[in-house]
Amino acid sequence: MASIRSSSWWRRMGFASTSTLHWSSGRHGQSVDDYLEIHNLIARYCFVADTGTADDLVSLFWDDATLWFGERSRNDGAEGIRRGQERWIEKMRDPVVDLRHLIYAPAIRIEGRRATAETYYDADGHSRKLGSPIFLRGIYRDVLEKRNGEWRFHERRIVIMHSTREDLPREEAAETGG
């Protein structure tokens, strides 16, 4: 089993513990059902981000969860995440026509009732204001927990690696995520 990244890299990214961040070989008792539930949760997030309400998005997180958009925009707890999503919907999603988030196969590691995942994503659409295409590329870095038989996000970091959105100031784009 090889580490995904060095311990210092994960600490710099804000994760307190790196003890469970390893590529999964699939031989350590993790359930295929758990893997599929986590994969489905990550996919559902994309559909809800594209068309759902702030409450729909909050329902994917535990009440004590944290959601990061970029490095500086931290949303804590259900109410913080709800407010952050309401702002994101108003400023980022509503001005976009045909927004769609696409994920690639996530690297998931399950350790009992806790899991980590790294998932590349793309998001695209068109600016309602300018009609120009918008393309974001990034990575979701997740810590998930299973409580009462259900997987939800405990921490999600949305990292934008590249953006072509021209009608958005660069600093705001980095903080509003996708």
Alpha carbon distance 72, 51 (integer Å): 25
The C-alpha atoms of residue 137 and residue 101 are separated, in whole angstroms, by: 10
The answer to the question of residue 160 being in a domain is yes
**Residue 8 belongs to a domain:** no
18 versus 119: which is more confidently predicted? 119
1 part of a folded domain: no
Greater model confidence, 68 or 2: 68
Lowest mean pLDDT among 98-107, 142-151, 158-167: 158-167
The answer as to whether 16 is a domain residue is: no
CB 140 within 8 A of CB 128: no
Residue 166 lies in a domain: yes
Report the 10 Å Cβ neighbour count for 24: 18
pLDDT digit string, tens, across residues 147-172: 999 999 999 999 999 877 665 555 44
3-state secondary structure of 13: coil
Task: Tell me what percent of the residues of the chain surpass a pLDDT of 90.
Answer: 70
- Rg of the chain in Å (alpha carbons): 16
Contacts of 175 (CB under 8 A, 6+ apart): 69, 70, 72, 73
d(CA 136, CA 173): 10
CA–CA distance from 10 to each of 13, 97, 167 (Å)? Answer: 5, 35, 33
24 DSSP 8-state letter: -
Q: Residue 88: how many CA atoms within 13 Å on its side-chain side? A: 31
Question: Is 3 part of a structural domain of the chain?
Answer: no
Instruction: Identify whether 167 is part of a domain.
Output: yes
Is the pTM above the cut of 0.95?
Answer: no
Identify whether 15 is part of a domain: no
- Count of structural domains within the chain: 1
Question: Residue 155 sits in which domain range?
Answer: 28-176
Which of 73, 68, 44 lies closest to 139, judged by CA? 68
Beta bridge mates, 109: 116
CATH number, position 38: 3.10.450.50
SS3 113: coil
3-class DSSP state for residue 15? coil
